[in-house]
Amino acid sequence: MKKVKNFNDFDLLLAQEITNLDRFIVKSPLGTNEFWSEWQKKAGEIVITKAAIKKAIRVYEKKLPPSQIVKLSAMLESFKEIASYLELLRETALKLKGIDSDGFNLFDTIEGENEEES
């Protein structure tokens, strides 16, 4: 992991991370056909990316330096937070249509996140 030399380096790294993650912001109006299309694309990318990171950690855990495992784990946590954001948008859009989805998290269902990791 790179050491941050000064506060300006930290600002630069933070701005870079925000730019990298900005692509997951759903910009279409909530509940429209465009919203659902954009949401589906971003949700699919999250599911696939999280699966790839989990597999990389599982397969290469003993072959990678600890700093790389830490980086992959941090990425996984970021994508879990993005999945929570997308799930909140989905629930809100459904509530606007009068559909109650409380207690049903699409990402947990798709990925089996509540199951024990092997």
pLDDT tens by residue, 57-68:
999 988 999 999
Q: Is residue 20 part of a domain?
A: no
Q: Is residue 32 part of a domain?
A: no
Q: Is residue 53 part of a domain?
A: yes
Give the range of the structural domain holding residue 81, as residue numbers without chain letter: 41-118
Q: Is residue 59 part of a domain?
A: yes
DSSP structure string for 16-60 = HHHHHHGGG---SPTTSHHHHHHHHHHHHHHHHHHHHHHHHHHHH
Q: Is residue 62 part of a domain?
A: yes
Q: Is residue 19 part of a domain?
A: no
**Number of domains into which the chain is organized:** 1
Q: What is the pTM of this model?
A: 0.77
116 DSSP 8-state letter: P
Q: Is residue 117 part of a domain?
A: yes
Q: Are 72 and 53 contacting, i.e. CB atoms less than 8 angstroms apart? A: yes
* pLDDT tens sequence across 2-39: 565 666 888 888 898 899 889 999 999 999 999 999 99
Q: Is residue 28 part of a domain?
A: no
